[in-house]
Amino acid sequence: MRAGILVPPQNFGLVEDGLYRSGQPTELSYPFLEQLQLRTILHLSADEPPAEFASWASEQRIQLVRLGAGADANMLSPWKPVSEEVVVEGLRRVLDPSSYPLLVMCNLGRHRTGTLIGCLRKLQCWSLTSVLEEYRRHACAKSRHLNEQFIELFDIDLVRVPEHSPPQLHLQAERGKPAG
């Protein structure tokens, strides 16, 4: 690699200022990610992140948060949508300004990441057509009807929008009610 060339992770994208999405980064993409000065990475997987990646994140003082571990059996099958609990917890972290700059990622940056970002877009009052177009753009030819249906039916009232959510998300604090 020539000096000065930065390579983003697979399926990298800017969601909002300070909020990014991607597939699993490799050593080649670490210099690119270092430029983002990330504070938090949401790793949406039932599997442990690769040791090399976890070590790199620790060296960079990035909080690596794994969502989907343990009891979430839905994460074990790539054909099932991510669980509602993982999406709600992921959105709680996305809505926390102390997590920024933040990267949301899964293995390929398509389905689990796309579902979480799609549900965020619903909170932002995007039209369903726009939400699904963004999901499909990142899923390429591999979009999944179950994930699209999950996004469409996701109840945004399960997510409490904090009074001080990141301003770049353009959310109103009165939206959403505490679950339960």
Catalytically active residues, by annotation: 106
- 115 neighbors 87 (Cβ within 8 angstroms): yes
Q: How far is Cα 105 from Cα 74, in angstroms, rounded to an integer?
A: 17
Please list the residues that pair with 63 across neighbouring strands.
40
**Which of 45, 48, 44, 41 is CA-nearest to residue 20?**
41
**Which of 84, 58, 69, 83 is CA-nearest to residue 158?**
84
- 110 neighbors 140 (Cβ within 8 angstroms): yes
Q: State the sign of the Cα–Cα–Cα–Cα dihedral 124, 47, 51, 138.
A: negative
